[in-house]
Amino acid sequence: MKPGQTQRTPWIVGVSGASGTPYAAAVLRALLEAGESVDLVVSRASRLTLLDETGISFRDAHWQDDLREWLARGADGKPDVFQVDIDRVRHWSAGDLAAGPSSGSYPSKGMLIVPASTACVAGVALGLSKDLLQRAASVTLKERRKLVVAVRETPLNGQTLRHLVTLDDAGASVVPASPGFYAGATHIQDLVDFVAGRVLDAAGVEHGLYRRWKGELGGSRSERPE
């Protein structure tokens, strides 16, 4: 690092193969809007889900173009809804176990896994480190950094519930992808942003993705436009 430069300390965002790629997109947009740097790990399984849910192929060789197209898309599938600057994003291939986030000496603020599949949850809970996403999560836990796991599956069987308790015991925050309706949602994007906002709340990142509870019943209805 050159004199006068500040150390880049990103949030690591892991995207696993569970349904819910719009959640990941909303989290990424909000992190960048908050001025945060991001290290992105997109698992092999999640690329199939992204293709199925959005029609976008995420390719290592063209990740910048693919990421721009993905983050510009609304939760309802419409293209070019958002304008996003991805200059603060660094992409690591999920198969690169020599990547920066694979080491505890690599600086990061923590990691957000969104969405988190049950297979991903099991791998992290058991310390398997079968790919960079799982390895980065294990590093985050051992370094006592923030790990937020946005599990997206229903119903949950006993084995997955035990894995989630293991993660909670290890210091992770488990945030089910469960939208709240008290914020006055009128669009699918509102429901997606609510979950993304709760993920960022758990990480301690400021955002304006949803209307917070103010202790007033009926507030969501009164704030809706006529």
Tens digit of each residue's pLDDT (9 = 90 or more) over 149-173: 999 999 999 999 999 999 999 999 9
Mean pLDDT of 182-202: 96
Distant-in-sequence, close-in-space partners of 221: CB < 8 Å, separation ≥ 6 = 184
> Distance between CA 26 and CA 139 in Å, rounded?
25
pLDDT value, residue 4: 63
pLDDT value, residue 50: 98
Distance (Å) of CA 6 to CA 2, 3, 148, 161: 9, 9, 26, 41
Distance (Å) of CA 155 to CA 109, 160, 205: 31, 10, 29
pTM (2 d.p.): 0.94
CB 17 within 8 Å of CB 190:
no
The pair of structure tokens assigned to 154 is: 């229903």
Q: Check whether 2 has a pLDDT greater than 80.
A: no
pLDDT value, residue 6: 82
**b vs e for 150-160, b when ≥16 Cβ sit within 10 Å of the residue's Cβ?**
bbbbeeeeeeb
CB atoms within 10 A of CB 147: 27
Tens digit of each residue's pLDDT (9 = 90 or more) over 77-120: 999 999 999 999 999 999 999 999 999 999 999 999 999 999 99
pLDDT value, residue 215: 85
Burial degree of 102 (CB within 10 A; 0-12, 13-18, 19+): middle
The pair of structure tokens assigned to 54 is: 């959005």
Question: Whole-number mean pLDDT of the chain?
Answer: 94
Tens digit of each residue's pLDDT (9 = 90 or more) over 24-56: 999 999 999 999 999 999 999 999 999 999 999
CB 128 within 8 Å of CB 134:
yes
Put the strands of the sheet holding 110-116 in their side by side order: 89-93, 38-42, 11-15, 110-116, 146-151, 173-174
pLDDT band at 184 (very low <50, low <70, confident <90, very high): confident
pLDDT value, residue 222: 53
Percentage above 70 pLDDT, the chain: 94
pLDDT value, residue 161: 98
- Closest by CA to 205, choosing from 23, 40, 35, is 35
> Distance between CA 53 and CA 36 in Å, rounded?
26
Mean pLDDT of 199-204: 98
